[in-house]
Chain A
Amino acid sequence: MRYLPLTPDDRSAMLARIGVKTVDDLFADVPADKRLKGLLPLPKRKSESEVERVLSRMAGRNTAAGAVPFFVGCGAYKHHIPATVDHLIQRSEFLTSYTPYQPEIAQGTLQYLFEFQTQVALLTGMEVANASMYDGSTGAAEAVLMAHRVTKRRKAVLAGNLHPHYRETIKTVSAMAEDKVITLAPKPDGIEDILSAIDNDTSCLVVQTPDVFGHLHDLRKIADKVHEAGALLVAVVTEAISLGAVTPPGEMGADIVVAEGQSVGNSLSFGGPYVGLFATRQKYVRQMPGRLAGETVDADGKRGFVLTLSTREQHIRREKATSNICTNSGLCTLAFTIHMTLLGEAGLRRLARVNHANAVALADLLAKVRGVQVLNKAFFNEFTIRVPGKATDVVEKLAKKGVLGGVPFSRLDPRAKLEDLIVVASTEVNTDEDRAAYAMALAEVVA
């Protein structure tokens, strides 16, 4: 077996040194009647080329985003990832290291986490950020729990235009923790009356911008009202690139910003692994979940970094911890921070402008298709169209024509009975030809 270095002679010598006859003597505590006799009924070992053949065949049955005109978003986006990013995250010292519990030999990880935290704070317009969550949706659930701790209240209000998967994730955790959640109905036109749902028992309002239909929201007035009620404003961003063009939630009064960071440096991978960005105000830092890297000095007075404020965490506090999180998204965090370093202010701004311009061009093109209506006035790189007939059928027919045209909203939220809406995203990877192909295919499908 190519991964196992012990030779039969080694094994014999080691058993002799231990003082047992067979390796099964070491498993003596396993109840004899429960031990497996023989092998599990699964295939035996395969060579590298055989494994590659099996898995490549499976992968080959899927349509890759890069192979077709591609406009699918709703919380995960097809962006170009510079080759540098994937090369660097595969360096052994990053790929095969562990959570930096021994900081003297993990300064590489700790320094990039410190840099990542700073980048996230700058991007979101917040004061501090943690070293990542699993993804945006689980980060949103953690934000609600944090708001409960800060306000000592247990009722969250979720805007209707929050991504339905995020809503469901929050609801699952809240139901189990026996906390209250008020959910509002989705409003495809982007006009929601959220404020009337806020009262003096509310711990937080969770609102997404751009929202699941692509609408942008000015959070300033909402923030004032939420703060008046003694609650926190949790802002969700599922497209991190938007922060290169749009006023960040931190400048609009958000108390916690949760974002999906996949767009920066991380591949689509059918939904994971991704990287949750989590930022807040300095005054709430001790209620924040997740790992934190902090600056300090070593015995020689040299600057160095360590994991810190761990008295919030499960391995120290056990049942009194702020969260049960242990592993987070280390390597995805690295991909994010490398890509963001390559972009910088100048690159991020331009990338955001290109995304916006491409989406505007596509919206204008699709609006000209007879029977199709674009619902958004203000949007970033994603918008919603109303189509004649069922959106799921339209998307399926588009796929048959080789265009992956977006997400039927009814697939995200079948109970909302909004069956004629497609959420469409356009990023820097789309060309004029892609857009023309989409418009032509859509015209044929809805005709």
Chain B
Amino acid sequence: MNRQGRPTGTGDTSPVQHRTFTGNYGLAIEEKLIFEIGRVDTTGVDLDEPDVFASRLGGLERKNATGLPGLTEPETMRHYVRLSQKNYGIDTGIFPLGSCTMKHNPRLNEKMARLPGIGDIHPMQPLSTVPGAIDLIAELSRWLIEMTGMAAVALSPKAGAHGEMCGMMAIKAALAARGEKRSVVLVPDSAHGTNPATAALLGYRVESVAVRDDGTLDPEEVKKHLSPDVAAIMLTNPNTCGLFERDVVAIADAMHEAGAYFYADGANFNAIVGKVRPGDLGVDAMHINLHKTFSTPHGGGGPGAGPVVLSDKLAAFAPLPFVTKDGRYVEHADEAGSAKPLGRLCAFHGQMGMYIRAMSYMLSHGSDGMKLASEDAVLNANYVRAALADLMSLPYGNKPCMHEVLFDDHWLEGTGVTTLDFAKAMIDEGFHPMTVYFPLVVHGAMLIEPTESESKASLDLFIGALRELALAAKRGDTARFTGAPHYAPRRRLNETRAARQPVLRWTPSKPQQEAAE
């Protein structure tokens, strides 16, 4: 006791569990929907009513209320801060989602994106008032071309899948320019779902090519699928099993001999920046996810940016707008000279807000830092592999991987624990799970990508926890898994119910509806 009479001890130490009045438990605070706490007559934005004027809306005034609820600023702040606290981010801890590349997002990048000369310039203000923006586009193009060893880059695609579409369109346009129409695209069965979806969107028939026993593609198997009707192959390298396609050059040669093109999915470019250039491997087109390799934030699912680098053969077909090598900005086909742009992929110029962030990352790292980042990413993944190989099963054997390591669920057989259970138990240990059930070529896949952003201490803790969980699963401690997560903002959610009886928006409950009427 002190003079104020304030107890400084621990209080009653016996474990007590009771329901709280609020439903909150300390810092774990429940938060209602804005529709349950907001009011249509409340606003957090002060604005004076305009002076009296005659509406010129031509009789199209909105008569019915929108029903949008408003909150004042302090209420708004609290609502979203509470929601944020139910999320796990890279800044919370390791986020080892394979093929997603959850690396550190430098805050310098955010600061640069908010410079008024970047964040507050309009895409259609005169080009004479934005020379710095054109410089930035030219400079980013130069870096991407240099890093990939390609001939040209199309910056405007808005995300990876959009970039895939752009690259495959360039291939289709090049074939058309040759007077050819081919109908088949080859996609390995280990590919991202966006690859077959993109090919199908462009009217191609997708032919799946099986990977061989070591998780990579066999050029002989590819050749079996080749014919004059094959337009391209879409190949991720390093692939989704975390392995470098060691026969990539032979595959590229086979495609080219057949008059077809090699599209590379650049989702995993982060493993090889500064180590090898895709252009030297025979790639004709490759998208680059700026939000993976170059650290622009994932933001809960976007925005991304998916520039596409193109080989000599495809460069002429790059979409509008683009910047020429001499720094001229081309917005229209009529200004394109000898080029044959395939058209426009979106309004305006693409994701400038992401270009500046990626540029900030590249300048910060430089050629030496980017190479080291690739090496550390690969080193970290292999360290995890080496530390878990005795407990968890590696479908393609215990051999070096690239920036991510793939386990399957063979080692869980007979334990009553599934890959999903294991992932959910990781949540209770304070980790975001790895990618699960992808790629589809192995059963119960667990794909771990630690990235270069993790310290050795962070990896050691992660490894320690996974080893302990693996041992627990093997000794039959199933309850710890099948009920997990126990300590997250929510227990396991009923996804079947969500899909069978979709509730995709809030609607007022009956009494509220009646009151409104």
Contact = CB atoms under 8 A, between A and B. Distances in A.
A26 B382 CA distance: 8
A93 to B, nearest CB: 4
A271 B80 CA distance: 27
Given A62-B118, A98-B100, A318 B196 contact: yes
Contacts of B369: 1, 3-4, 44-45
A271 B349 CA distance: 6
B67 A45 contact: no
Interface residues of A, number: 214
A25 B502 contact: no
B514 interface: no
B55 interface: yes
Interface stretch (A191-199, A223-231, A296-304, A435-443): A296-304
Nearest to B371: A39
A182 interface: no
Interface stretch (B124-132, B221-229, B308-316): B124-132
A62 B131 contact: yes
B121 A330 contact: no
A312 to B, nearest CB: 10
Given A62-B129, A92-B92, A122-B68, A169 B120 contact: no
Given A42-B147, A75-B348, A138-B162, A172 B319 contact: yes
A434 interface: no
A244 B57 CA distance: 12
A360 interface: yes
A59 interface: yes
B56 A356 contact: yes
B141 interface: no
Interface string A118-140: 11011101011101101111100
Contact of A106 (B244, B300, B331, B387): B300
Nearest to B295: A3
Nearest to B113: A269
B83 interface: yes
B164 interface: yes
Given A62-B131, A109-B87, A299-B491, A326 B122 contact: no
A389 interface: no
Contacts of B337: none
A398 to B, nearest CB: 9
Contacts of B54: 360
B30 to A, nearest CB: 8
B303 to A, nearest CB: 3
A421 interface: no
B492 A104 contact: yes
B359 A399 contact: no
B121 A246 contact: no
Given A297-B497, A345-B67, A52 B367 contact: no
B129 A404 contact: yes
B202 interface: yes
Interface in B464-490: 483, 485, 488-490
Given A44-B369, A97-B299, A302-B491, 20 more contacts: A31-B276, A55-B115, A64-B116, A84-B73, A93-B89, A94-B84, A104-B485, A134-B159, A138-B346, A163-B347, A216-B60, A244-B62, A271-B347, A298-B491, A315-B192, A341-B38, A399-B125, A399-B128, A404-B122, A411-B331
- 10 closest A-B pairs (Cβ-Cβ)? A344-B70, A378-B58, A271-B348, A331-B299, A59-B117, A172-B343, A347-B43, A271-B123, A273-B303, A357-B50
11 contacts: A20-B382, A25-B400, A30-B244, A30-B276, A52-B108, A74-B124, A100-B300, A169-B346, A175-B343, A315-B193, A349-B66
